[in-house]
Amino acid sequence: MPLEAKVLGQNVNYPTDYCPLILVPVPRRLNREKYDINDPEALFRGYDTWHAYEAGFLTRKGLPVCGVLKIVYPANSPNLVESKSLKLYLNSLNMTRLGDDVPSGIESFVKIVKSDLEQILETRIDIVFHTQETVPEYDFDNYAILEKLPEAAQTTFSEYTETPELLAENMCQGGEIKVGSHLLRSNCKITKQPDWGSVFIRLKAERLPAPMSLLRYIVSLRAENHFHEEICEMIYKRLHDLFQPEILSVSCLYTRRGGIDICPSRANRVEYLPEAIHDPEVLSRRLLRQ
């Protein structure tokens, strides 16, 4: 059984008491080797942002406290955390009594989760427990949505397993594009259940993919079986290898499943990464399906 399947795809009883041992680390190198990502720090910078919408605990007086836990950690961590194990772990804290009041309970909750995750991820993480909406920010307002372009209705889509050759069809003159699509869909590596999301790409190069070729490539991921972070890095690597860009940024904002959404971003320079989505203090504006 692969490490990722320790709890994913298995019938697992929900722990009712605090259970950090249920967290499952997954080495990033396992997937990166498939795409010749042998020196990731030379290829990209990036972050993985997780929003846990079902985070909560009890104060010592038994008052429930709930909120949104925003977790941000770097793409150069040796491991990622398997999402079902994180869900089970957070649920194991639901009946845990922490703090004499709400603020002290939140402080204790964040300290516990931060310590446990840093241990399995082997990196420093940023984590904030949000109990109310912040001023909504959004990184992708000026991105053109590919499927809304007039030519999308006239384009034939027939490839549903990853087809990087599509990116080389009908290439355009160089320049810079900021485009996105809400048609991203891939499948869980273990359970094969569908994962829905949106992808946003910023690309500046001497040659560019034609808009519909890029959309057809995104659609071709529909039957791929990978974790969210792996899909983001696969898209990034294909674009990097083919276009040798001056600027490249890829962000994948996936729909929540089990109360958690995963939003990875990769870019060839830190300044090209989106800001709000990876700021732990900000609850950025959610997309329709998040």
Contact 56, 118 (CB under 8 A): no
Cα torsion at 86, 87, 92, 94 (round to 10°)? Answer: 130
Q: What is the DSSP letter of 178?
A: E
Q: From the candidates 195, 232, 252, 261, which is the catalytic residue?
A: 195
Best CA proximity match to 109, nearest among 122, 88, 124, 94: 94
Residue 116 is among the residues annotated as catalytic for this protein: no
Q: From the candidates 48, 139, 188, 252, which is the catalytic residue?
A: 188
Q: What is the DSSP letter of 283?
A: -
Best CA proximity match to 228, nearest among 258, 185, 259: 185
Single-letter amino acid, residue 179: V
Residue with the two structure tokens 């083919």: 242
Q: What is the DSSP letter of 101?
A: S
Residue 36 is among the residues annotated as catalytic for this protein: no
Spatial distance between the Cα atoms of 169 and 213, rounded to a whole number of angstroms: 6
Helices (H), the chain: 29-32, 40-43, 83-91, 102-121, 211-219, 228-243
Q: What angle do CA 206, 211, 213 make, to 5 degrees?
A: 95
Of all helices (H) and strands (E), which one includes residue 16? none
Which residue numbers are catalytic?
188, 195
